[in-house]
Amino acid sequence: MRTRVAGTTPGGYLFPSPTGGVWTNTNFRARSGWMEATRRAGVEGTTIHDLRHTAASLLIAAGADVKAVQVILGHSTATMTMDLYGHLFSEATWQAMERLPAIPLTEAPLPALPQVPDVG
């Protein structure tokens, strides 16, 4: 993937169609063997966009930062990523916190108060 990214001009497509343009859904399905492959895999009806959502969900479940997911998916802002996948981050947050080492919370002794002389 790094080689493909490095060899792609800014704004270019990582996986261009045979003519160098964008794959349309119909064009992709007709030329790539996608429909046959998904049928044989037992996931007929699965779309490339479904795989995109799956990849995003797996990244989040693995603890990826929202900014990393934004960049990987090509969203213009992290807000856009959160609008689409924020509900998944809420669980990921708790899972990440569970991975922290246990820190015993003991009550620290209070510092001694200064002695005030009795004036009476």
Query: Running DSSP on this structure, what letter comes out for residue 55?
Result: H
Does any domain span residue 109?
no
Count structural domains, the chain: 2
State the pTM of this model: 0.58
Assess whether pLDDT exceeds 70 at residue 104.
Answer: no
Q: Taking the CB of residue 69, how many other CB atoms lie within 10 A of it?
A: 22
> Is residue 5 domain-resident?
yes
Per DSSP, the three-state class of 90 is helix
CA terminus-to-terminus distance, the chain = 83
Q: Which domain holds residue 56?
A: 47-98
Question: Is residue 21 very low, low, confident or very high in pLDDT (cuts 50, 70, 90)?
Answer: confident
Whether 4 is in a domain gets the answer: yes
Residues 19 and 57 in one domain: no
Same domain flag for 41 and 9: yes
pLDDT for residue 92: 67
Residues 32, 34, 38: CA angle, nearest 5 degrees: 160
Residue 35 and residue 52 share a domain = no
Q: Is the pLDDT of residue 108 over 90?
A: no
Q: For tokens 């779309």, what's the residue?
A: 47
Q: Output the pLDDT for position 42.
A: 93
How many residues are given for the chain?
Answer: 120
